[in-house]
Amino acid sequence: MKKIANILILGFLIFNLTSCKTIKEKETENNIYDAPKVEFDLGENSFPKLNREINDYEFNFNLEQLEKLTLIVREFEKRTTNQIAIVSIKSIGEYTDFDKYAIDLSNNSGVGLKEKDNGLTIVFSKELKRIRISTGTGTEKILTDDICKKIIDEKIIPEFKKGDYYLGIERGLLELINKWE
């Protein structure tokens, strides 16, 4: 009788361990943003794969902030077809020029519709203390380099200096959307 009880308990434990999700999986199951599976993965071409609108490889944002930024970007894309990606990155690999890296990352990732070239990528690094807004050809007709620089200087950098990366990105993102619509 004791053997049968032990076998039943063992079977129950094996079943539950192999079929149950972890607490973390249950918490994030219904969220629109799934946390990255790896801290940072440089692909064959030195660029991380952008799997979503917000790619926080430096872990600057909490889950609620990631969801809010994602909703802002998705709603804007629904209204306009314009695409935005936000990327935080710890390293630029073999590159020596952050701006060139950000432009190449944006081009390599295909942000924006090809026929409209209506993409925009915000690439920043807390570690490297750098930020760049890269625009597609169609986008730069509206969001010029001067406008992007002004948004970085007036909306994003002041919050970054306070250590609030979320608020800096949110304010910059909303200002970019406001000028782009």
- CATH number for the domain harbouring residue 54: 3.10.310.50
- Which is more confident, 56 or 23? 56
Residue 7, domain member (yes or no) = no
- Which is more confident, 106 or 125? 125
> What pLDDT was estimated at residue 176?
96
pLDDT at residue 139 is higher than 50: yes
pLDDT at residue 147 is higher than 50: yes
> What pLDDT was estimated at residue 179?
92
By residue count, the chain amounts to: 181
Name the average pLDDT for the chain.
79
Q: Is 160 helix (H, G, I), strand (E, B) or coil?
A: helix
Q: Which of 91, 154, 95, 80 is nearest to 126 (CA)?
A: 91
> What pLDDT was estimated at residue 36?
41
What pTM, to 2 d.p., does this model score? 0.73
Residue 51, domain member (yes or no) = yes
- Which is more confident, 111 or 45? 111
Query: Which range of residues forms the domain containing residue 151?
Result: 35-180
Least-confidence region, from 32-36, 84-88, 111-115: 32-36
Taking the CA atoms of 52, 83, 68 and 151 in sequence, report the sign of the dihedral they define: positive
pLDDT at residue 116 is higher than 90: no
Pairing of strands 83-88, 130-135: unpaired
Q: How many domains does the chain have?
A: 1
Residue 94, domain member (yes or no) = yes
Least-confidence region, from 24-38, 115-129, 145-159, 166-180: 24-38
pLDDT at residue 177 is higher than 80: yes
Q: Which two three-digit tokens encode residue 92?
A: 């630029």
Q: Is 133 helix (H, G, I), strand (E, B) or coil?
A: strand
Residue 165, domain member (yes or no) = yes
Q: Which two three-digit tokens encode residue 98?
A: 């952050």
Specify whether the CB–CB gap between 142 and 161 falls below 8 A.
no
pLDDT at residue 154 is higher than 80: yes
